[in-house]
Amino acid sequence: MPMQNIIDVDQFDVRPVENQLTLSKWYEFGNAQSAKESGLTEAKSQYIVLFGASVTGTSLVQFIDMLSSEHLTFISLCAFKAHDDLPIGIAIEVCLQHLDELSKTAVRQAAQTVGCQGAILPSLPQLLKPGLLVMDMDSTAIEIECIDEIARLADVYDEVASVTAEAMAGKLAFSDSLYKRVAKLKGIELSLISPLKEDLPLMAGIKPLCEILKSHDWRLAIASGGFTWFAEALQVRLGLDHVFANTLEIEDQKLTGRVIGEVVDADKKAQVLESLRSRYDIGAGQTLAIGDGANDLVMMAAADLGVAVHGKPKVVEQADAAICDGSLLQLLYFLTVPMPDGIKS
């Protein structure tokens, strides 16, 4: 990778990194040349991204020092602006064969130590190229779990929660859990839950994120274990291309306590992503999936980049990257890393 800008991280000071580097410009670490000569950089690069808060030069040095025990070869770094409303992000190119030894947990913990968030990106989707985002709905695109809120309104929350606990303990498959929970909702009148549908609390940043992605020819979809009754309302608000969710049976303006049609479970979510990838001829590296629960892991693994959003510990651990705090607009950090010289965008 041709790069003439050599950086000595020991010369960083307490000022924000963006005051010490030119934005969107890649700087080569001083040891990168010896790594090239030894053949360590022949493998495909991967990228560590620091995001979510302003990073000072001294904090960046501290972060790098904390990861030195992981036997990483640091190749280059770049400060970049993902969005006007977000702090400057830092991308660090590292050698692949060393990255295999680096746990995602170590990166997150090192980032937290310097007051920000961190992730390793196995893929660099590009905002400026058409792509596909498939997202979970409950506790991902919106702040609530719809079935829990319905249960609260109908005063059957404890009964529904007990079934949820069984599922989380591995005693019930997702479909069985869904059927048992929905059965508790039998007889609830739509008039009771209509206000919830009309005023779903959006997760912070989801609306501007969708607007930005759509303006760059991305396709957007929800694949949810929740319900079409809510997902279709969200589709209108966010301008989504598709929604896939479970259908509540309704008779005489009341819930019957049954789900009709195919259940949207973990495997179905992954199938949705693959189907839409093929339908819209999405290019390699351009699919993104986000979610918070174990039911999203198969879909996230099928995507080029799977991101846990305020996720359960297991999901954060297994996802490619995680946003554990703050706005969903931060997904733009993962889509706007400038491509280094010699790397095709």
Domain boundary among 93, 122, 151: 122
Whether 143 and 93 share a structural domain: no
217: left (phi over 0), alpha (psi -120 to 50) or beta: left
Q: Domain holding 100: CATH number?
A: 3.30.70.260
Whether 59 and 153 share a structural domain: no
Q: Which domain holds residue 251?
A: 132-319
Give CA–CA dist 108/32, Å, rounded.
24
* Domains held by the chain: number: 2
Whether 96 and 172 share a structural domain: no
Residue 328 within a domain: no
Whether 234 and 308 share a structural domain: yes
- Residues in CB range of 123: below 8 A, 6 or more apart: 285, 304, 305, 320
Whether 150 and 244 share a structural domain: yes
Q: Domain holding 225: CATH number?
A: 3.40.50.1000
Give CA–CA dist 189/168, Å, rounded.
28
Give CA–CA dist 232/54, Å, rounded.
38
Whether 136 and 113 share a structural domain: no
* Three-state SS letters, 12-23: CCCCEHHHCCCC
Whether 73 and 147 share a structural domain: no
Residue 335 within a domain: no
Q: How far apart are the first and last CA of the chain?
A: 14
Residue 293 within a domain: yes
Pairing of strands 132-135, 219-227: parallel
- Catalytic residue set: 136, 138
For the entire predicted model, the pTM comes to 0.92
Q: What is the pLDDT along the chain (345 residues), one digit of tens a residue?
A: 444 588 888 889 999 999 999 999 999 998 655 455 445 555 567 899 999 999 999 999 999 999 886 667 889 999 999 999 999 999 999 886 655 556 788 899 999 999 999 998 888 999 999 999 999 999 999 999 999 999 999 999 999 988 887 876 668 889 999 999 999 999 999 999 999 999 999 999 999 999 999 999 999 999 999 999 999 999 999 999 999 999 999 999 999 999 999 999 999 999 999 999 999 999 999 999 999 999 999 999 999 999 999 999 989 999 999 999 999 999 999 999 998 765 544
Q: Using N-to-C axis directions, what is the helix angle for 157-168 and 174-183, rounded to 10°?
A: 170
The pLDDT of residue 168? 64
Choose among 122, 304, 319, 91: nearest CA to 218: 304
Whether 193 and 141 share a structural domain: yes
